[in-house]
Chain A
């Protein structure tokens, strides 16, 4: 059952077209990853989905509510973990949580119980009375997440929640996300860490230039890379005719990616393909200065799809 449906969503700031018609459907209980380079529009997109930012055009339905007419209903059902540590450093963790819980109408006993529950869950109950300014980065991140979960939201937006923290805190956050997943909560998750995305996310959408350029389950996305990518740095430009010849003569090459003095091949098996392609290049008198072997990971897919590395 889909809990979020976005159709042809656009965002413009004057002449600046930030989000260019995104269609996406997110199923309930999924961890939905949003990957993309800086400036791809990830934060803008989740800000629109979480009703923090008005949509220029398009339709969004959250848990059956139209975002244009039922903003408050939607806000009651969602929790937002911002990219920044949006807490009051002078207040202690308990007071911070009390404040954010109260914004959702939680009161007295219920609020106290929820605070105790979430502090236990993020492992900070014994530090609850310390001012947040005295916390480590990881501890602040955990309270930052906790503040979004107090009212037990069905949908949680997490904007890079593990940036710049220690491994212990990161593991705590992963545990928390697994716990939420078990609770059938839907999580929309943006991150720069590909490993994190592949481990946590059921479905991943890759954004670039305000568009989703690839979407699918992690397994399906990785299949697009087959055995990985071989990238050859050449001493000279290689003509498209020569590339076509090499591709036609080797079954192990699935796709070719070319940019000036670099040429990349998606191959079925990097070890086998390396010898074969090197042989062909040598036979054509093309000198290779270096070879980069990229395994079939989300990192490789990200670079392949956004083309940042190859375009340089």
Chain B
């Protein structure tokens, strides 16, 4: 335990370093707070999550009104057709968009109903705010969905009418054919009976009574209503539906903004220890304190371990503080496995400490520390999904993320916090983080010089 004085000294030094405390503790807390509150509506934390669109109805028919009603049924979209009692006009569209009031304005053109009923193509006008393109593109998809469903109803109605007409015609033809056949047979029978009657003396001719056909045609109205009802029901309530399940555990709750941001920013800022590790090594080399320490009966391994442990402890404290603030201050759920959180945190602290030692072994000047450590830390953080969620990245970027310890730590935390997994489910994340640390430490040991 000859490294213990070095550990105590380094902890004392870093705790006295106000800049380090701000970067390692205050900054992540600020980021977590600001980003979580800012993104709370996205995570449905009690705010209205719907997007409002302006709708201008130039047709004003039953069909256009029906379309608007269908659009209103779409979850997440609020359809606004008027403001302060004044119905929107076509000329308002651009103003409504540029005024940042709506991400999109939709115009239902004249003759909308007529064309829909006539199975003709009809195009809705859409004005989009370029600044809210992502939101607008989602609305366009919703519009396309509603349009295809709505137009399908009219297509089905026409199909039903056509089908019934064809059935009616076919039945009428058959009935007429049967009637003609029976007429012919009756005429034949009548002729034979007449012939037989006249063969007898005094026989009177047989005359046929006219037959009245009782068929009045099919009852198509009720048939049409039934078919249309079934078609509407089929469109409105499809046989195949999707049910959303969150995570794998029954205890799992919906993730909140803090469950997303606390692990993200914890992972990102835990790696900022790299900068302070590098700076500490540089100062010790420059001031000659490494040489002085090594003039005492302390081996290089003790010095190495003594310099490493404080960074490990600070990283662990960072994890503890961030999760404690998330839980106690912001009421963030810690998932179902505290042991899992401890396991991931230990491996994360190990990986960040190891990369800190690696940077310390490579840098030769203050400029290099700031440049190299910031480049590595921020690049890995961006690639690892702590800034931009991994799921929005392209496949290639998601694969690249696997080469960063950040991604493994982050997915490990999210598996525990958001997906309700346990310690045994995140063993691979822990193992990969540990191996990252081993690789970094190996290079650090190879490269490190205490007396340069």
**Neighbouring A residues of B297 by C-beta, 8 Å:** 72, 75-76, 103-105
A86 to B295, CA, bound (A): 12
In the complex the two chains form, what is the Cα distance from A88 to B16 in whole Å? 12
Contact: B291 with A95, CB < 8 Å?
Answer: no
The CA-CA distance from A50 to B289 in the complex, in Å, is: 15
Determine whether A174 belongs to the interface, using a CB cutoff of 8 Å to chain B: no
Beta-carbon contact of B13 and A91 below 8 Å = yes
Indicate which residue in B6, B17, B296, B451 contacts A90 across the interface (CB closer than 8 Å): B17
> How far in angstroms is the closest Cβ of chain B from A278?
51
Q: Which stretch (A57-65, A77-85, A163-171, A281-289) binds chain B?
A: A77-85
Count A interface residues, CB 8 Å.
26
Given A75, A86, A87, A90, which contacts B291 in the complex, CB threshold below 8 Å? A86
Interface assignment of B293: CB less than 8 Å from any CB of chain A: yes
Interface contact A99-B9, CB-CB below 8 Å: yes
Tell me the smallest distance from the CB of B398 to a CB of chain A, in Å: 43
Distance between B27 CB and nearest chain A CB, rounded to angstroms: 21
In the complex, B5 has a CB within 8 A of chain A: yes
Using Cβ atoms and an 8 Å threshold, which residues of chain A touch B291? 52, 82, 86
Check A84 against B287 for contact (C-beta < 8 Å): yes
Give the residues in chain B near A213, CB-CB below 8 Å: none
A80 to B291, CA, bound (A): 10
Please state if A103 and B287 are interface contacts (CB–CB under 8 Å). no
With a cutoff of 8 Å between Cβ atoms, the chain A residues found around residue B294 in the complex are 52
- Expressed in whole angstroms, the Cα–Cα distance for A103 and B13 within the complex equals 17
Which chain B residues border A84 with CB–CB below 8 Å?
A: 287-288
| Least CB separation from A89: chain B residue | B287
Given contacts A90-B16, A91-B12, contact A100 B296 (CB under 8 A): yes
Known: A91-B12, A99-B5. A86 touches B288 (CB 8 A): yes
Are B17 and A87 in contact (CB-based, < 8 A)? Answer: no
Q: Is B292 an interface residue (CB 8 A)?
A: yes
- Checking A72, A80, A86, A99 against B287 with a beta-carbon cut-off of 8 angstroms, the contacting residue is A86
The reply on B298 being an interface residue by CB < 8 A is: yes
A85 partner residues in chain B, CB cutoff 8 A:
287-288
Please name all residues of chain A whose beta carbon is closer than 8 Å to the beta carbon of B288 when the two chains form the complex. Answer: 82-86
Please name all residues of chain B whose beta carbon is closer than 8 Å to the beta carbon of A88 when the two chains form the complex. Answer: 9, 13, 287, 289
Q: Which of B6, B8, B9, B292 contacts A82 (CB 8 A)?
A: B292
Q: Are A75 and B296 in contact (CB under 8 A)?
A: yes
A67 to chain B, nearest CB (A): 13
Closest CB in chain B relative to A264 CB, distance in Å: 39
Q: Which of B2, B5, B287, B295 contacts A50 (CB 8 A)?
A: B295
Contact of B292 among A51, A86, A102 (CB under 8 A): A86
Residues of B near A95 (CB, < 8 A) are 9, 12
Task: Give the residue name and chain of the B residue nearest to A73 (CB).
Answer: B297
Distance of A104 Cα from B294 Cα, bound (Å): 11
A100 contacts B292, CB within 8 Å?
yes
**Pairs across A and B, CB under 8 Å, 27 listed:** A52-B294, A72-B297, A75-B295, A78-B295, A80-B292, A82-B288, A82-B291, A82-B292, A83-B288, A84-B287, A85-B287, A86-B287, A86-B291, A88-B9, A88-B287, A89-B287, A90-B13, A90-B16, A91-B9, A91-B13, A95-B9, A99-B6, A100-B292, A102-B4, A103-B6, A103-B298, A104-B297
Q: Please list the residues of chain B having a beta carbon within 8 angstroms of any beta carbon in chain A.
A: 2, 4-6, 8-9, 12-13, 16-17, 287-289, 291-298, 451
- 6 tightest A-B CB contacts, nearest first: A102-B5, A103-B296, A86-B288, A86-B292, A80-B295, A84-B288
Beyond known contacts A86-B292, A147-B292: 16 more, CB 8 A cutoff: A52-B295, A52-B451, A80-B292, A80-B295, A82-B291, A82-B292, A84-B287, A86-B288, A86-B289, A88-B9, A88-B287, A90-B13, A91-B16, A95-B12, A99-B6, A103-B293
